Amino acid sequence: MTMYDNNILKDIENAEEICIAGHINPDGDAVGSVLALALYLKRLGKTPRVLLESIPARFAFFGGTQLWYNGAYDGLVPDVFFAVDCGDKARLGNAGEVFDRAGLTYCIDHHRTNTGFADVNIINANASSASEIVFELMKKNGFDPEKDSEIAADIYSGIVFDTGGFRHNCTGRRTHEIAGMLVDGGVDTSVIHSRVLFEHTYPQAKLFGIALGNMKHLDGVTYTTLTTAEIEGCGCTSEDLDGIVDYLLNLDISECAVLVTQRSETAAKASVRSKKIPIADIVVSLGGGGHALAAGVTCDGSAAEVAEKIVALIVKEIKHG
């Protein structure tokens, strides 16, 4: 079927219970797209449950946070389940159990590595963000940003986050056209840009300093590691890591950048970014996913061991690719 030709509105109308989830460790696009869709469903007379793992404090100003469901999942059996900004079912975390019980499942996503795990998969790898796709779906079904500034602000916030303020190569003409329509809807662009991209806490600044102190460079790859003790010692969590890997990538000597953080005693997560060299296949080969120039994976080993492995693979690609 064509990208946005589907029975989504009919499926929504026929559903009594609807759940919406994004990926674990939700970022600005996951929060923005999920909450925007939830608010849209509420406007249609539904009472959706948002099953986000958490809503990071920096995104607490987004509209629709009151729809976040913080109860037990074992009693939820939705008629329709929307997985948003999620490349595979495992990325749903605990919400995956609810997904398995749903009568009908949708996946709305923009990751090139998406596995097509739902009954209905609306995947557009050319879109800047899941928020952009949610906008297109809502607009096709009557959404007018000039009549609902709260939803418009959530969509705009999600797009701003995933495009780095319209800087990343995922930003296309349509992205700017949608942004213009959202601005017409009255979104406060200066506040959103400031809070989504630039506002940080004091603990985050301390952690940023440690990450830079641990920084290394090898043949075009700038990388750093953070242990659990370093993260917790600053009073931070995994929600406080945004911006570090992008800062490394913006160094004039960087072709690629890698941030590896310890997530347990036996595993570490790598966030990988690239200016031009496609790195998604490298990450996918290790069990991860993402986009051509922005991807992530969790591997067995310490942060230092995982960093060494991934950096070696990227350097090999740079030299022989």
| pLDDT tens-digit series, residues 138-160 | 999 889 999 999 999 999 999 99
* Backbone φ and ψ of 23, nearest 5°: -75, 160
- % residues pLDDT > 70 (the chain): 98
Q: Give the pLDDT score at 6.
A: 64
Q: What is the pLDDT at residue 321?
A: 65
* Cβ neighbours of residue 241 closer than 8 Å, sequence gap 6 or more: 207, 226, 231, 259, 261, 271
pLDDT tier, 2 (very low <50, low <70, confident <90, very high otherwise) = very low
**Which is it for strands 120-123 and 289-290: parallel, antiparallel or unpaired?**
unpaired
Mean pLDDT of 223-233: 97
Is the pLDDT at 314 greater than 50? The verdict is: yes
Mean pLDDT for 239-255 is 95
- Mean pLDDT, range 3-18, rounded to an integer: 84
Mean pLDDT, rounded, of the chain: 94
Whether 295 shows a pLDDT value over 50: the answer reads yes
Domain locations in the chain as residue ranges? 8-197, 202-320
> What does the pLDDT average to over 86-95?
95
Q: Is the pLDDT of residue 5 over 90?
A: no
The total of other beta-carbon atoms located within 10 Å of residue 74's CB is 9
SS3 category, 228: helix
Helix axes 149-163, 173-184, angle to 10 degrees: 150
Residues 78 and 69: their CA atoms lie apart, in Å, by 13
pLDDT band, residue 291 (cuts 50/70/90): confident
Spell out the CATH class of 8-197: alpha beta
Q: Which two tokens stand for residue 168?
A: 């990343």
Q: With a cut of 60, say whether residue 168 has pLDDT above it.
A: yes
Residue 307 has pLDDT above 90, yes or no: yes
Single-letter amino acid, residue 16: E
- What are the backbone angles phi and psi of residue 126, rounded to the nearest 5°? -90, -10
- What lies within 8 Å, CB to CB, of 139 at 6+ separation is none
Is the confidence at residue 97, as pLDDT, over 70?
yes
The answer to pTM > 0.75 is yes
Nearest to 140, CA basis, from 10, 310, 279, 287: 10
Tokens encoding 160: 């701003």
* Average pLDDT for 85-104: 96
Could you check whether 8-197 and 202-320 share the same CATH topology?
no
pLDDT of 320 reads 81
H helical segments located in the chain? 8-14, 28-43, 96-101, 130-140, 149-163, 173-184, 189-193, 202-213, 228-233, 244-249, 280-285, 303-320
Q: With respect to CATH, is domain 202-320 assigned 3.10.310.30?
A: yes
| Separation of alpha carbons 321 and 314, rounded Å | 9
